[in-house]
Structure 1
Amino acid sequence: MSALDDAGLRTVHMVASVLLGYPDERLYEARPLLSKSVETLPFGEVRARLAAFLRHVESTPRRELEAHYVATFDLKRRCCPYLTYYTYGDTRRRGAALLRFRHAVRAAGFDLSGEELPDHLAVVCELSARGAAGPAMRLLREHRAGLEVLTRALREEGSPYADVVAAVQATLPPARPWERETALRLAAEGPPAEEVGLEPYSIAGGDR
């Protein structure tokens, strides 16, 4: 990909944070600004992927886009947008992992709106875009195997959201061998199950 400076990184994550959220008024009101922001990026994979998704939004009826979002992210476990899910599944250990995300959000002075969990990919991207790129990038790197699994699942589903997640992936340093191996293992085995006798830590947004 073409090299991104700090401003370019924040731009990519700002655009991705909006595109990865539910396609409500925020997305449709922001489309002109999002398109202009993408045009400021250097030519390369990231710009091309984000531009492709914005064209998809432009050409797709809103109800169809809303239905696709729900069918993809709310009804398919393999397309879960919550990063800790891939490593910890619906287990109690996930609660401790979520605390790291919550602390990063609070340390940056941000409050989560509604009931969204802090490990949602859109939330982490917004954290970066709003000035906390360091903590956000650390969290993304730590969970890059989950990002890889999510991208592969979206591609297999034929979802245009694969372009957005892949654009976020492209902002990270190249994956190391053990990170690629972890991604392959997660893709093959799926997230861990809760140990017998323990209540799972449920993810938000329904049964994935």
Structure 2
Amino acid sequence: MQTLKVLSLLLSYPEAETLEALDEMAAVVEQENLLLDHHKKSVLALIDTYRGTDLLDAQEAYVALFDRGRFLSLHIFEHVHGESRDRGQAMVNLLQMYESHGFEMSTHELPDYIPLFLEFLSQQERAEAAQLLHDAMPVLSLLGARLIERGNDFRAIFDALAGFAGEPEALAEIRQQAATEGEDETLVNMDEIWEEEAVSFMGSGDVCTNQTAAATVNPVIITSREQFLAAHSNRK
């Protein structure tokens, strides 16, 4: 599923190689036909925004959007665990799942970095990739909703992922959260926002203790939508 690889590249920090491959990326989206038609058009439009763009300008815009605050962080567990100790165990569980599938990380990024997660999914069978992605959709839909509130074209990626994997049950509440939470005050109220939070993806820290367990238990599933929504309502 090379379309997921394209979405991974679009969501990554812009590099010269990416801008040089825009035609190839567009061809994959068109020909593989993995996405719904209207999502495909939106992703192709996003690709077109890079045409003729200066690389430094694209990089500056990317950093301003994704790297200056917590609301649009591209690390899945940051939106659930914050900086609590639970995040470390979740990282271990996810890394074990990667290893059990023969996926080797060749990047300095953390395992829960969304472009890396999408690259992993692009190498899996469609049904399994859709299920794993669906289990992460509460976080991905929140990011998409926040991008919608900002009127940003990157929303196309998250809309496309929801179309492929299915929307989360709590979508209405997630969109309401994004519409009412106000500005991202991460940089202003750092100490308060990064306090430990009792929210867990897996429930028990020993659920995934070896590669066999990692292959059968999904380490990105959010077990309680009430916990997820409560955690984000507390961050206003």
State whether TM-score is above 0.5. yes
Q: Read off the aligned partner of 2:2 and give its amino acid letter.
A: T
Deviation (angstroms), 1:45 = 2.1
CA distance in 2, matches of 1:58, 1:47: 17
Q: Read off the aligned partner of 1:25 and give its amino acid letter.
A: A
Match of 2:86 among 78, 93, 99: 93
Match of 2:2 among 7, 11, 16: 11
Q: Read off the aligned partner of 2:60 and give its amino acid letter.
A: A
Structure with max Cα Rg: 2
SS at 1:175 equivalent: coil
Q: Single out whichever of 143-152 and 97-106 deviates more from structure 2.
A: 97-106
Distance 1:73 1:140, change over 3 A: same
Unpaired runs of 5+ residues, structure 1, are 1-9, 196-208
Q: Contact 2:74–2:114 (CA<8 Å) still a contact in 1?
A: yes
Q: Read off the aligned partner of 1:163 and give its amino acid letter.
A: A
- 2:123 counterpart of 1:130: yes
Q: Read off the aligned partner of 1:31 and give its amino acid letter.
A: L
Deviation (angstroms), 1:78 = 0.5
Deviation (angstroms), 1:62 = 1.9
Q: Single out whichever of 94-103 and 121-130 deviates more from structure 2.
A: 94-103
Distance 1:136 1:193, change over 3 A: farther
SS at 1:109 equivalent: coil
Match of 2:152 among 123, 142, 159: 159
Fraction of identical pairs, as percent: 24
Structure 1 residues 98-113: aligned runs within 5 Å: 98-113=91-106
- 2:33 counterpart of 1:31: no
SS at 2:104 equivalent: coil
Bigger relative contact order, structure 1 or 2, given CA contacts below 8 A and separation 6+?
Answer: 1
Q: Contact 2:145–2:174 (CA<8 Å) still a contact in 1?
A: no
Deviation (angstroms), 1:134 = 5.0
Deviation (angstroms), 1:137 = 3.4
Match of 1:175 among 156, 162, 168: 168
CA distance in 2, matches of 1:160, 1:120: 20
Q: Single out whichever of 43-52 and 75-84 deviates more from structure 2.
A: 43-52
Deviation (angstroms), 1:136 = 4.1
Deviation (angstroms), 1:67 = 0.5
CA distance in 2, matches of 1:130, 1:123: 11
Distance 1:138 1:96, change over 3 A: farther
CA distance in 2, matches of 1:15, 1:53: 11
Q: Contact 2:98–2:104 (CA<8 Å) still a contact in 1?
A: yes
CA distance in 1, matches of 2:150, 2:175: 18
Q: Read off the aligned partner of 2:29 and give its amino acid letter.
A: V
CA distance in 2, matches of 1:137, 1:131: 9
- 2:46 counterpart of 1:44: no
Deviation (angstroms), 1:92 = 1.0
Unpaired runs of 5+ residues, structure 2, are 185-192, 198-236
Name 1:204's counterpart in structure 2.
Answer: none
Structure 1 residues 129-148: aligned runs within 5 Å: 129-131=122-124, 133=126, 136-148=129-141
SS at 1:171 equivalent: helix
Q: Contact 1:108–1:132 (CA<8 Å) still a contact in 2?
A: no
SS at 2:50 equivalent: helix
Structure 1 residues 183-198: aligned runs within 5 Å: 183=174, 187=178, 193-194=195-196
Deviation (angstroms), 1:14 = 1.6
Match of 1:68 among 61, 70, 91: 61
Q: Contact 2:94–2:112 (CA<8 Å) still a contact in 1?
A: yes
Deviation (angstroms), 1:194 = 0.8
Normalising by structure 1, we get a TM-score of 0.77
Provide, for residues 33-56 of structure 1, a one-character-per-residue CA deviation record: whole Å limited to 9, x for no partner. 101112212661221121011111
